[in-house]
Chains A and B, each alone.
Chain A
Amino acid sequence: MKTSKRRRSAWIVGGSLGVLFLFLQLFRPQLCNPPVVAEIAVPSRVRDILRKSCYDCHSNETKLAWFDQLAPASWLVAHDVREGRRYLNFSELGELPAAKQQGILFEAINQIELGAMPLRAYRWSHPDKMVSADDLATLKDYLISTSPQPIAGAAERNATLDQWMAWSHSNARPEVSPAPNGIPFFSDYKTWTAISTTDRWDNQTMRVVLGNAIAVDAIRQRTTNPWPDGAAFAKVAWAQDSDGSGNVQAGEFKQIEFMVKGAAKYADTNGWGWARWLGAELTPYGENAQFTGECIRCHTPVKSRDFVFTIPLETSR
């Protein structure tokens, strides 16, 4: 008696869920494949890997599996594809300058290597789309083989010298506008401590990362995950001036980027305030406050390090 009652309830619950499932299928998200504008220009061995593991979300050639098309999963899939295309679309990249395409590919491969991409749910539901160790090696070899090591010509050397003369001979500080998200320029950053230097051979820049007193103290105390409120970093980038014999000097100043920690204050942007100023004129980067989306997406693979890429030097003995 008891068993049959339970069986009936199971049928009712199961049936209702089935009806609900069918009803949900009426609400199919709009997801189409717009024409391919200009596909990224890479050799076929590289394109095949991107097609297999990235194109479903990052191109206009999305191929959905049957189970991707069933609601409610289809809604998540449609959302991921829209977001994926907005951030990186391999069907449109070909229009950009070669150096820019190369930079985007470097970021994509870092997202793969650090485990952020493809998304975990996608890897789990599409095991055949995983990026294998061999695939990753192929992608890296391609980027290494195509990374230019330009030699600084007279134009670059003169630009560096002109910038240096103007800077070293002037006591006037430029008036610096705040970043579009309201973060003011940290005018005391030059008194901070250098916590590392980086040779970014992927985009031919060299960088020094400076930390303020709170950040340096946190490094000494080993309290860097999470970083304490008020910790701030400045990442300064210069062009690489190479003389053609393998000697590279810091050349023209390119940009300065800041991260300032405020777990509550900057809760909407992962606990950090983000800002970037370009050129010796220190022009704020970004048209509006949404520019921080770029910073966060790039730093997300190091979420487990409280979003900080830099591995600081031990500045105290």
Chain B
Amino acid sequence: MKTFSRLTTTQSLIFTLLVLVGCSSGSRRESPATNQAAALVGDLLENPLEWNAITTQIDRHRSYMSTLYGNDPALEHAMSTDDAKIPVDAKFALVTWRQQADPNWFGAKIPGKVKSVEMVYWSQQPGAEAELTYLQLDGSPLRPATDLTPSQADQRQRYITSLKAAVLP
């Protein structure tokens, strides 16, 4: 009898403990450690996410968010006036993601699946002068866009290199 009552006491203690542990672990939703949905995978030669973040923008209607990244000469260009020439070693990348709700904050959106990466950089053919080049990669995994006209490419290149750096005091 005594053994039985001791056993039930132990059992109820264990049960209570399990309930408490269950409550504490079950009451909170776990969010992922890293944002793998937004990772850049595909035909990228360099990872622009390692460059300077120059500025950021949102397209409310299509629920996109973009961040302009660039190396130091590109950042310097984005801090200069409209008529400044683009430095010869500048590299820009406008990365656009579809937005997703931030699981950790109702009232915020964060990058979701990548929509496109638009690169602007100098390239040089043998015997020719270096020229500014625009390359658009779409989708996940990223693949070079195929249906782009030269005038569209020119327009996007001008737009990306015209963006001003967000103030970082």
Whether A associates with B in a native complex is yes
Q: Which of A222, A242, A282 contacts B169 (CB 8 A)?
A: A282
User: How far apart are A307's CB and chain B's nearest CB, in angstroms?
Assistant: 11
Over the window 19-30 of chain B, the binary record of Cβ atoms lying under 8 Å from chain A Cβ atoms (1 yes, 0 no) is 000011001111
Which residues of B from 14 to 71 have beta carbons under 8 Å from A?
23-24, 27-36, 38-41, 44, 47, 49-50, 52-53, 55-62, 65, 67, 69
Give the most central of B49, B80, B105: most A CB within 10 Å. B105
Q: How far is B110's CA from A199's CA once the two chains are assembled, in angstroms?
A: 6
By a CB distance below 8 angstroms, the chain A residues around B166 are 208, 236, 238, 250, 253
Q: How far is B110's CA from A110's CA once the two chains are assembled, in angstroms?
A: 16
Do B50 and A315 touch across chains, with their CB atoms under 8 A apart? yes
Q: A115-B27, A247-B60 are in contact. Are A236 and B65 (CB under 8 A)?
A: no
Q: How far is B23's CA from A252's CA once the two chains are assembled, in angstroms?
A: 44
Do A200 and B41 touch across chains, with their CB atoms under 8 A apart? no
Majority SS of interface residues in chain B? loop
Q: A199-B65, A317-B40 are in contact. Are A311 and B168 (CB under 8 A)?
A: no
Q: How far is B105's CA from A199's CA once the two chains are assembled, in angstroms?
A: 11
Q: Which of B24, B57, B106 contacts A113 (CB 8 A)?
A: B106
A62 on interface, CB distance cutoff 8 Å: no
Report the nearest A residue to B167, measured CB to CB.
A253
Report the nearest A residue to B163, measured CB to CB.
A249
Do A197 and B65 touch across chains, with their CB atoms under 8 A apart? yes
Q: Which of B60, B106, B168 contacts A109 (CB 8 A)?
A: B106
User: How far apart are A70's CB and chain B's nearest CB, in angstroms?
Assistant: 22
Do A311 and B31 touch across chains, with their CB atoms under 8 A apart? yes
A143 on interface, CB distance cutoff 8 Å: yes
Number of interface residues of A (CB under 8 A): 64
Number of interface residues of B (CB under 8 A): 52
Q: How far is B80's CA from A91's CA once the two chains are assembled, in angstroms?
A: 51
Do A203 and B47 touch across chains, with their CB atoms under 8 A apart? no
Q: A198-B108, A247-B59, A316-B50 are in contact. Are A164 and B28 (CB under 8 A)?
A: no
User: How far apart are A275's CB and chain B's nearest CB, in angstroms?
Assistant: 15
Do B67 and A253 touch across chains, with their CB atoms under 8 A apart? no
Chain-A contact segment, one of B96-104, B115-123, B125-133, B148-156: B96-104
Do A106 and B67 touch across chains, with their CB atoms under 8 A apart? no
Do A314 and B56 touch across chains, with their CB atoms under 8 A apart? no
| Contacts from B to A (Cβ < 8 Å) | 23-24, 27-36, 38-41, 44, 47, 49-50, 52-53, 55-62, 65, 67, 69, 79-80, 99, 102-111, 164-169
| Contacts from A to B (Cβ < 8 Å) | 106, 109-110, 113-115, 120, 124, 140, 143, 147, 149, 163-164, 167-168, 173-174, 190, 193-194, 196-203, 206, 208, 210, 219, 222, 224-225, 236, 238, 240, 242, 245-250, 252-253, 256, 280-282, 301-302, 304-305, 309, 311-317
